[in-house]
Structure 1
Amino acid sequence: MKDGNYNEKANGVERPLNLAIDIKNNKIKQVDNKSTDISDLEQGTLDKMSQRIIDNQSVNVDTVSGATISSKGIISAIKQAIADAGGDIDDFSNKVSQNFSKADDDYDSWIREPQKIEKTIQTDLVIVGSGISGLSAAVQAGQDKIKTLVLEKNGFVGGNGSGVKGMMSAETKMQKKAGITFKKEEVVRNELETIQYQADGSFWVDLVNHTADNIDWLIDQGVQFDRVDDYHHTCPLPTFHWFKGGRGAIGYIPFMKKKAEELGVKISTSSPVTGLIFKDKTVKGVYASIDDQVVKINAKAVIFASGGFGQNRALIKKEGWNTDNMLFVGMTGSTGDAYKMALAAGAKDTLENSAPLITNFVQALPLGNGRDLLAGGPALWVNQDGVSFTDESITDRNAILQSQPFKSIKNGYLVFSREMFAKYEDNLQDLSEEEQKSMKGIDDMNHHDSTQALAILDKAVKTNKGNSLFEADTLEELAGKSGLPKDEFTNEVKKYNEFCQNGEDKEFGKAKKYLVPIEKGPYYIARLNQSLAISIGGIGENRHFEVVDDKWNKIPGLYAAGIDSAMQYKNIYTINLGGSCCAHCVNSGRYSVKNAKKYIEKLA
């Protein structure tokens, strides 16, 4: 190959990176970033990938967990540099893998000692994960002067928390300054009513009582909040505290990481935990892969804060969901490792009552925010028999309810007219200019007016990804294209239109304001599938975030925080007060450490 410094572009999720790749003496010598603006996530991925490729002189290496797209972009850029230098890609394609994955159903393997241990280290506390809860725990541990090691599976910190927009709180200084007044017990009542009092209310009391102090504490650590409101008029109470920039990656993650490290907490990325040290019915540490070595880490306590199992199709199916066309949009590293380790140690299994963040989507349409026609309201849903099966306006009570009825049917479909799509997909019409500005760039809503909405619809019909969207001039033709029983379907639409015209739904009692007739063609039908962002819950615990067994006996040395735990939810995530899960993550991170500290001190 010709020696030289080759400038290549590496495509990523956010933007392409400009890389300078140094080739000398037929070897890849160095990979440098030449972009002026690079995020911590991108830099971490570049560092890990370039080191793996240079060390092994191979582009056929494992991608960085949680950063697959960026990793592949870096590989492609280096391949291009090799080609530009006149090299043969095959000479740099030896397979190099450090995959420590285990069989999905072999939970006991997570508490077996590895055949070969290459290094042993000692610490007081291990925190598994560095998202919202993991970093909260890390900072608290640093302040409490506990010798702590944070192990992060991904090649960067943040996890699911990077995309979180803010957190719920009650009776904060920010709210008082904004003239917002309500009692915190109103939050507790609202949440318990939403889940029909199925959860232990003391978990909610603890959380809400701590939220104002937790906000103050976060601000003291450097976390930045923009404002407090009712999240675009979607919350019954103005409890939502926005992170600066509308993302945890901007307002939360960098400040908490910096603070934890200033306090002496060691954070090791690309370090997946591969097992739990469990002896004499007590947790005594973990096994992990650090710098491609199998490491035994003896610890007095372990806190799981690993981000749940939102990427584990088998576990989501175990919850009762149809996963055939489900879209998994969360962090790829959220595979339920902590859940499996906890169950192997005898933990109470609460998976069937966990509360995933699942919304509806149509494969042919771009992903929206789940609160438009796809979420129900002024539209008609029918099942595989062409029959209506629920009140589509249930999202007025809780946005996550949109997906729940689909758990009990084979397939569900959205029926609407072109006129309806133009009207209800214009998601700017009811917002003030100030609100529109505040949403841009920080909210995941698709911003478009009616003309743009129809252009999106027309393109989707033509491409029809997943064979999921059909257009027709008549209802009979629409039934034929979608494969639904013609008579049942057309009669159902006619009946629904009669309800709309009379202003009364005589089957499900749907609110009059949502009774919009489907009268004028063209008509459309879309198969509604589900999109999963995160799982919430799965590991049983008590109010002290101590993991418990089926008899509610605590498992010594083991704690669960964040969405590995979340006992305050049962089946339904109460997102009608947005940010409650993030509030729980911060709170459980802090208080799992406070309680672990008491346990550790007793062992001294």
Structure 2
Amino acid sequence: MEEYDVVIVGAGLAGFAAATEAADQHLKTLLVEKGRTTGGTGNYVEGVFAADSEIQQKENAVIDKDELLNEELTYSHYRADGRMWQKYINHAGKNVSWLQDHGVKIAMVASWGSGARTWHLFEGKGHDAIHNSLEPYVKEKGIEIVTLTRVTSLKKNNDHTFIVTLTQVEDKSERLVRTKNVVLATGGYLNDQKLMQKTPHQNPDNIIPVNSGKNTGDGLRLAWSLGAKKFFTGMAMMFGGQLKDHTIPSFKLWGTAIWSSVCDQPQCWVNELGERFVDESAAVVNWANEGNAMNRQDRVFCIFSQQILDDFTDKSYPRSMKPFVPEDRYPSLRSDIEQAEKDGREYLHKALTIEKLAEEIDTPNLPAYIEHYNEMAAQGEDTDFHKPAKYMLPVAGEGPFYAIELGVGAYTTGDGLRVNIKNEVLDTKGRPIQGLYAIGGDGSAVLYGDTYGVNVPGTHAGYCVFSGRNAIENIARK
């Protein structure tokens, strides 16, 4: 039976951070990925958090660490682990330098909305960071990577080593290996509907995962089989609306002109009754809040007119999206809507009048509310939710009129297992299960209450890097 110092389960950003650190520490390591390709949800990551990176220091943009710690603890209503946050914040800048030392390219440091400037954006997103830098490095250093392979069982021996059952996905053949340590990096459970239904605060039918599709709770189940504590807090990393269509993978719609026009621009959003439920402009500047507001509804639609569609295409839209959108209009929006209609997209509804649109999407109060909305727009005052006048675009003029149905986009979960500041998995008594570690989405319950703090952007992805290194460094010290 082949023996390893470490078996890492999951080859996403956290898994590759751990594998890279393991290569640096000269540990014999096996990296196991159940998918055909590596990278997982980490391929879509924009960037990572830091408060005092070398880039920030050069730009005189260092952020007060104590203020950040207080911000995160307050935001989580003190459900977050202050010790872990303090350790993470103190190491984040060094982790950015470590990534750069391993070939990862940082394009810029940015903020999101009015939040802190902590977001170190990758060139080419996480895909390039992983596949152009970390993956080639670990392969060069002799780290073994197997794909299309699941870890289906963990058994602990009396000597505290593990017997790991590796099951090949296609032919179901099995291989057993022995290891001193197991690091769980499977990304949480966002794609497991049954586990999502067990969490509080969520409406799983309304949540649209925008990730690799492989985060099905594998790491959690392996840990639970060894006595780990179930630590559900109901945290899904939501980032506002997504186009609701079951016929196409959600990541193909994320970032498109249609998506941005209805989810980034504070247009008129209504629920299943046809009534607004939030100041849309306050929601879009903090997409965690946007997701929470939408998740309280049974259905959500963005309602707009042909005039708004034409203006957004040919002239401008009211909320600048630079640097993420290069100009203040969507040149392809009208043609994209036309193509979506030809393709019969589920999310798109169109009618000549608001009354017929209300019938099509079953929103009985929509005609009366749109009349009220247009009156408020004409007066320049939103007496319902106090949205600024420049965003009160009347849904008026000649038809057709449009309704885009939205679900709540989510990137990953942030709960499931409890870990200590070494990223060791804890049992039901709060004691570490020796040799078992959880990182990234599998071990991020220490960071959150029930909502991701987008006001300090990059923290989840940065935690993937920090926790991966943290676990391996503690293994190397044994």
* Band of TM-score, shorter chain: 0.7 to 0.9
- How far has the Cα of 1:560 moved from its partner? 0.4
The structure, 1 or 2, with the larger RCO (C-alpha pairs under 8 Å, 6+ apart) is 2
Could you report, residue by residue, the CA deviation over 1:286-308 in whole angstroms, capped at 9, with x for unpaired residues?
Answer: 21126964222222221101222
- Give distance in 1, aligned partners of 2:85 and 2:178: 34
Match of 1:298 in 2: 178
- How far has the Cα of 1:279 moved from its partner? 5.4
Match of 2:191 in 1: 311
- Give distance in 2, aligned partners of 1:196 and 1:156: 38
- Give distance in 2, aligned partners of 1:481 and 1:163: 35
- Give distance in 2, aligned partners of 1:282 and 1:512: 64
RMSD: 3.3
- How far has the Cα of 1:380 moved from its partner? 2.2
Amino acid at match of 1:155: R
- 5+ residue gaps, structure 1: 1-119, 440-444
Q: Secondary structure at the match of 1:171?
A: coil
> Is 1:416 the equivalent of 2:304?
yes
- How far has the Cα of 1:483 moved from its partner? 1.9
Tell me the TM-score normalized by structure 2. Answer: 0.85
Amino acid at match of 1:490: P
Residues 116 and 455 in structure 2, CA contact (< 8 A), matched pair in contact too: no
- Give distance in 2, aligned partners of 1:343 and 1:280: 18
Return closer, same or farther for 1:574/1:283 CA change in 2, 3 Å cut-off.
farther
Residues 547 and 554 in structure 1, CA contact (< 8 A), matched pair in contact too: yes
Could you report, residue by residue, the CA deviation over 1:281-336 in whole angstroms, capped at 9, with x for unpaired residues?
Answer: 96724211269642222222211012222332322333364455754442243222
- How far has the Cα of 1:197 moved from its partner? 4.2
> Which structure's CA Rg is the greater one?
1
Residues 416 and 442 in structure 2, CA contact (< 8 A), matched pair in contact too: yes
Return closer, same or farther for 1:243/1:590 CA change in 2, 3 Å cut-off.
same
- 5+ residue gaps, structure 2: none
Return closer, same or farther for 1:212/1:525 CA change in 2, 3 Å cut-off.
same
Residues 426 and 448 in structure 1, CA contact (< 8 A), matched pair in contact too: no
Could you report, residue by residue, the CA deviation over 1:257-289 in whole angstroms, capped at 9, with x for unpaired residues?
Answer: 233234443222332211111457967242112
- How far has the Cα of 1:219 moved from its partner? 1.9
Match of 1:535 in 2: 413
Question: How many matched pairs?
Answer: 466
Match of 1:491 in 2: 368
Return closer, same or farther for 1:315/1:426 CA change in 2, 3 Å cut-off.
farther
Q: Secondary structure at the match of 2:357?
A: helix
Q: Secondary structure at the match of 1:222?
A: coil
Match of 1:574 in 2: 453
Matches for 1:155-166 after TM superposition, within 5 Å = 155-166=36-47
Q: 2:396 aligns with which of 504, 514, 519?
A: 519
> Is 1:456 the equivalent of 2:336?
yes
- How far has the Cα of 1:423 moved from its partner? 4.0
Match of 1:212 in 2: 93
Which deviates more from structure 2 when the two are superposed, residues 211-220 or residues 153-162?
153-162
- How far has the Cα of 1:251 moved from its partner? 3.1
Match of 2:230 in 1: 349
Q: 1:564 aligns with which of 418, 437, 442?
A: 442
> Is 1:399 the equivalent of 2:287?
yes
Return closer, same or farther for 1:170/1:280 CA change in 2, 3 Å cut-off.
same
- Give distance in 2, aligned partners of 1:180 and 1:309: 36
- Give distance in 2, aligned partners of 1:202 and 1:516: 47
> Is 1:389 the equivalent of 2:268?
no
> Is 1:236 the equivalent of 2:115?
yes
Match of 1:105 in 2: none
Residues 115 and 456 in structure 2, CA contact (< 8 A), matched pair in contact too: yes
Return closer, same or farther for 1:425/1:322 CA change in 2, 3 Å cut-off.
farther
- Give distance in 1, aligned partners of 2:78 and 2:285: 15
Q: Secondary structure at the match of 1:372?
A: helix
Residues 239 and 287 in structure 2, CA contact (< 8 A), matched pair in contact too: no
Return closer, same or farther for 1:417/1:446 CA change in 2, 3 Å cut-off.
farther
Q: 1:553 aligns with which of 425, 428, 431?
A: 431
- How far has the Cα of 1:513 moved from its partner? 4.2
Tell me the TM-score normalized by structure 1. Answer: 0.69
> Is 1:135 the equivalent of 2:16?
yes
Q: Secondary structure at the match of 1:123?
A: strand
Q: Secondary structure at the match of 2:395?
A: coil
Which deviates more from structure 2 when the two are superposed, residues 126-135 or residues 283-292?
283-292
> Is 1:475 the equivalent of 2:354?
yes
- How far has the Cα of 1:512 moved from its partner? 4.3
> Is 1:267 the equivalent of 2:145?
yes
Matches for 1:330-345 after TM superposition, within 5 Å = 330-345=211-226
